[in-house]
Amino acid sequence: MTHVTPKTRAELPELEPIFAGTEASMGFVPDSMLTMAHWPELLQSFSALGATVLGSGEVEPGLKQLVAFVVSNAAGCRYCQAHTSATAERRGVSDERINAAFEFETSELFSESERAALRVAAHAGMVPNAVSDEHMGALKVHFTPKQIIEIVSVISLFGYLNRWNDTLATRLEAHPTEFGQTHLASHGWQAGKHGQS
């Protein structure tokens, strides 16, 4: 059970433009945002940051979602694993590539540049952070400094969300729950303490 009951959209008409934009992007408004809405200024700031990190820049949106998925997997956040994998599919990433992200180092479905980005994500999600100079050197071979900042921004954004959702036991919405049960269960994913359903 969630530790803080989310607000409802009806309670927050002044935030409706944020909710409408999120719904257009994701297909629904996540409970994580409705919980943030207890502090409207936080939701406004976080939404602006999220829109910049995930909705602009040079790094392909599908790769950004895979980076978010891999860092959330490394951190163990079931809520964010379900969200990021479902959103990756919405961004055009195939089910095959989403499932292969668990074995990105050996899967032929990923290029060397994608492996470099996903490797940094996986090691950044560990506690303590296990990103090495070698990992960053491999990233620099394939990405510009701005693109590296984009990738690390995705990792950092989901570091916040991983902590937020696991700490508050955010209830996982229907669509990501169904996606997780259908697409991630073979890798041990299940809704539970870190992805309430």
Q: Two tokens at 41? A: 């200024």
Report the chain's mean pLDDT, rounded to a whole number.
94
| CATH code for residues 59-185 | 1.20.1290.10
As beta bridge partners, residue 171 has 196
Contact 76, 107 (CB under 8 A): no
- Give the model confidence (pLDDT) of 67-84 as tens digits: 999 999 999 999 999 999
Q: How much is the average pLDDT of 104-113?
A: 98
C-alpha torsion 69→176→91→152, nearest 10: -30
| Nearest alpha carbon to residue 184 among 49, 80, 67, 63 | 80
Task: Indicate the pLDDT class of residue 35, thresholds 50, 70 and 90.
Answer: very high
Contact 163, 76 (CB under 8 A): no
Give 175 or 111, the one with higher predicted confidence: 111
Quick one: how many helices (H) and strands (E) in the chain?
A: 10, 0
Q: Two tokens at 163? A: 């902590």
Task: Indicate the pLDDT class of residue 1, thresholds 50, 70 and 90.
Answer: confident
pLDDT score at 194 = 45
- Indicate whether 197 pLDDT > 90: no
- For the chain, what are the domain ranges? 59-185
